[in-house]
Amino acid sequence: KNQVEQSPQSLIILEGKNCTLQCNYTVSPFSNLRWYKQDTGRGPVSLTIMTFSENTKSNGRYTATLDADTKQSSLHITASQLSDSASYICVVSSNNAGNMLTFGGGTRLMVKP
Amino acid sequence: EPEVTQTPSHQVTQMGQEVILRCVPISNHLYFYWYRQILGQKVEFLVSFYNNEISEKSEIFDDQFSVERPDGSNFTLKIRSTKLEDSAMYFCASNTGTGAYGYTFGSGTRLTVV
């Protein structure tokens, strides 16, 4: 069964600090891995997308890494801002006919002033 | 920037009633999806739709559910005889094609079954 597990479940940091979120997956066949940001009551918004051959990808203050051998990924947020408070979800796409996504449970990040 | 539009944003229905959730995918996208998120839980895949037919569906997507693309722009999810446990956020998504790079989610419909 395809699974995506994330840690920690929740995290509180002070504004301006950095943090790293973790993701482990067992999804087959693997197509790509993406990190989403989801504000409460809203749809997920894509931050980064990485294929099997990509080790790292940045989008502004967000940097994602992927180790396809160990099936692990991380999302590093630098110089956090209050607006970064949200759930960050690791999502793996399966290379099947429907391109369905398997979602992790997310890390709920709270940035405090 | 193109968006996936969902209506209504919030719907309350009585147990046993039928509901139709509506979505307008991005116009040049070819794949369409429904996902749901029960409060406090993971987002779960329901169904994918391509070329006017279901291409994949999860165990959740039983006979109670159906999808339709009644015209060139709308994509609907029908839930027959709603149950309390159907209460969730339902997200529509569309995608340009294989590879899933164009995946875009709507803002969701919050369904409350009372």
**Which tokens go with A84?**
């970064």
Whether the CB of A30 is below 8 Å from some CB of chain B: the reply is: no
How far apart, in whole angstroms, are the C-alpha atoms of residue B4 and residue A5?
Answer: 27
CB proximity list for A70: less than 8 A, separation 6 or greater: none
Q: What is the mean pLDDT of residues A23-43?
A: 90
* Residue of A99, A102, A103, A107 best to disrupt the B interface, most CBs of B under 10 A: A99
Contact predicate B90/B8, CB 8 Å: no
Whether the CB of A1 is below 8 Å from some CB of chain B: the reply is: no
The pLDDT of residue B98:
59
* Each residue's pLDDT tens digit, A45-98: 989 999 888 999 999 999 999 999 999 999 999 999 999 999 999 999 887 756
Whether the CB of B22 is below 8 Å from some CB of chain A: the reply is: no
Answer whether the bond into residue A8 is a cis peptide, omega within 30°: yes
Closest CA in chain A for residue B103? A46
Whether the CB of B55 is below 8 Å from some CB of chain A: the reply is: yes
Dihedral sign for Cα atoms in the order A40, B39, B44, B9:
negative
Residues of A in contact with B56 (CB under 8 A): 96-98, 100
